[in-house]
Chains A and B, each alone.
Chain A
Amino acid sequence: MELPLPELPAFDYLHASSAQHALEQLGGSIARTRVLSGGTDLFVQMRAGSIAPTELIDLKHIPGLATIEFDENSGLTIGAAATMNAVARDPEVQANYPLLVRALETVASYQLRNRATIGGNLCNASPAADSAPSLLVLGSRLTLESVGGQRELALNDFFKGPGETALTPGEILTKISLPLAPTGWKGRYLKLGRNTSGDLAIVGVAVLGFPDPEPTSGFRFRIALASVAPTPIRVADAEELLETTTLSDESIEQAARIAQDLARPISDARASAEYRRAMVFELTAWALKDVRQMLEEEA
């Protein structure tokens, strides 16, 4: 019996046995070649006809590309092909980066997260990427590899636009590195969706705060937003304001206003731009107040 639904368009599925092997295949091919990890975005885009690769190189089985390693001195290294569930279930990630675990658990469904990878989430470069705000406030860096060698890049410099990244043709993302989370940090990821069942974010806000005697407020803050600009963004001006003034409801609301002004949302099926802007203010203030309360309880 034939299904009524269309098949995936034709392509050749190829295995890569090593990153070098994948890069050679990717670099040496004149065909429209794409890398495959979880496929949860790729296959959907292929079915929709928005991309039509003729070759897919599967990165999942490259040794080391799906490993998750924590080092007490240097922090966390996540292989680009590690699935969201593998990362969220990792005991070291749970103990040291619960903010990231919380963000991953808001993505789609459990079964989807068994395939979806962190690397894919970042390379797909959706403005709504749920892993991005938390990875941004945690100061993540990326390792990009090509036949010519490898380079490192701050995640903040990786996103270039909807679906666009700093990756050059023939280059792949192999590792996501997170420094040790700052001592005494508290964090929140607030995601507003049309429902609580794994829809894409209308607005996503990650806030991280930690004590530091140097700035006036006695704390440092990092704020990142998803789904309200062409890329996930950090809100550096609001972070600076919260460090250079005494922490209060007023300064928090001022910071939230800066975030709202920086947001450049669009109207789509999920929400209007106007609503998104209003919610950036509300959620940023909410997350900051939560984090402030947690920091004060600790102090």
Chain B
Amino acid sequence: MKHHTISFTLNGTHEIRDVRSNLTLLRFLREQLGVMGVKSGCDTGECGACTVLLNGEPVNACLVLAAEIDGGKVITVEGLSMDDQLDPLQQTFIDHNGIQCGFCTPGVLISAKALLTRNPHPDRDEIKDALRGNLCRCTGYVRMIDAVEAAAKEGN
């Protein structure tokens, strides 16, 4: 199988790695780079637990090849906080109890972050729409929506 040398930034740090053709971004992040905030749920693009930002846009890392991110920028939940300073979204998720078991949370935060970047003042329907691809089996959606709404009000 072919191998590919890829150059990319992960949460702001430049990396050069060698990856085989069939390695998904999800497995690459977890198994080779130790980025455990990216969760493996369905492996078919349904659940959103593996959602990361690729060049600023959310994608399902289970459906992206590591070889495809050459030259790109990847941000995971680990990249949201800076020097022990939580992203405002992370804080409002804590304040509004938007977390239960936590498995879906990294993907939800990434989808919400992307939403507030493209639309800083979403209404509740727009928030629901943006989180459609992130399944929460604790069914804590209402509090997550509250949390995103609160972060938007804070002007983020």
Q: With A12-B2, A115-B64, A198-B132 given, is the CB distance from A1 to B30 under 8 Å?
A: yes
Q: A267 in the interface, Cβ–Cβ < 8 Å?
A: no
Contact between chains at B31 and A111 (CB < 8 Å) = no
Question: How many Cβ-Cβ contacts under 8 Å join chain A to chain B?
Answer: 93
Contact between chains at B21 and A3 (CB < 8 Å) = no
Q: Which of B37-45, B77-85, B95-103 contacts A (4 or more CB under 8 A)?
A: B37-45
Q: With A1-B31, A13-B2, A58-B68 given, is the CB distance from A112 to B133 under 8 Å?
A: yes
Contact between chains at B133 and A108 (CB < 8 Å) = yes
Contact between chains at B63 and A115 (CB < 8 Å) = yes
A43-61 residues at the B interface, CB under 8 angstroms: 43-44, 47, 56, 58, 60
Q: A143 in the interface, Cβ–Cβ < 8 Å?
A: no
A97-146 residues at the B interface, CB under 8 angstroms: 108-112, 114-115
Task: State the CA gap A40–B59 with chains docked (Å).
Answer: 10
Question: A34 to nearest B CB, angstroms?
Answer: 13
* B residues in contact with A299, CB < 8 Å: none
Q: How many residues of A contact B (CB 8 A)?
A: 31
* B residues in contact with A14, CB < 8 Å: 2
Task: State the CA gap A111–B21 with chains docked (Å).
Answer: 22
Question: B70 to nearest A CB, angstroms?
Answer: 9
A193-209 residues at the B interface, CB under 8 angstroms: 197-198
Task: State the CA gap A109–B50 with chains docked (Å).
Answer: 13
- Contact bitstring B4-45, A, C-beta under 8 A = 1, else 0: 100000000000000001111011001100000000100111
* A residues in contact with B65, CB < 8 Å: 13, 39
* B residues in contact with A8, CB < 8 Å: 22-24
- From A9, A58, A108, contact of B45 by CB (8 A): A108
Q: Which of A9, A39, A85, A198 has the most CB of B within 10 A?
A: A39
Contact between chains at B22 and A9 (CB < 8 Å) = yes
Q: A296 in the interface, Cβ–Cβ < 8 Å?
A: no
Contact between chains at B132 and A2 (CB < 8 Å) = no
Q: With A3-B40, A13-B21, A47-B43 given, is the CB distance from A114 to B57 under 8 Å?
A: yes
Among residues of A, the one whose C-beta sits closest to the C-beta of B135 is: A197
Q: A10 in the interface, Cβ–Cβ < 8 Å?
A: yes
- From A43, A58, A197, contact of B63 by CB (8 A): A43
Interface of B is mostly: mixed
- From A2, A56, A110, contact of B130 by CB (8 A): A110
Question: B107 to nearest A CB, angstroms?
Answer: 9
Among residues of A, the one whose C-beta sits closest to the C-beta of B54 is: A114
Task: State the CA gap A44–B129 with chains docked (Å).
Answer: 23
- From A12, A44, A85, contact of B44 by CB (8 A): A44
Contact between chains at B45 and A110 (CB < 8 Å) = no
- Contact bitstring A1-42, B, C-beta under 8 A = 1, else 0: 111010111111110000000000000000000000011100
Q: B67 in the interface, Cβ–Cβ < 8 Å?
A: yes
Report which B residues bind A (CB closer than 8 A). Answer: 1-2, 4, 21-24, 26-27, 30-31, 40, 43-46, 48, 51, 54, 57-60, 62-65, 67-68, 111, 114, 129-130, 132-134
Report which A residues bind B (CB closer than 8 A). Answer: 1-3, 5, 7-14, 38-40, 43-44, 47, 56, 58, 60, 85, 108-112, 114-115, 197-198
CB-defined A-B contacts under 8 Å, sample of 8 = A3-B40, A13-B2, A39-B63, A47-B44, A58-B68, A111-B59, A111-B60, A112-B60
7 A-B pairs besides A2-B31, A8-B22, A115-B60 with CB distance below 8 A are: A3-B31, A13-B67, A39-B65, A43-B63, A108-B45, A111-B51, A111-B59
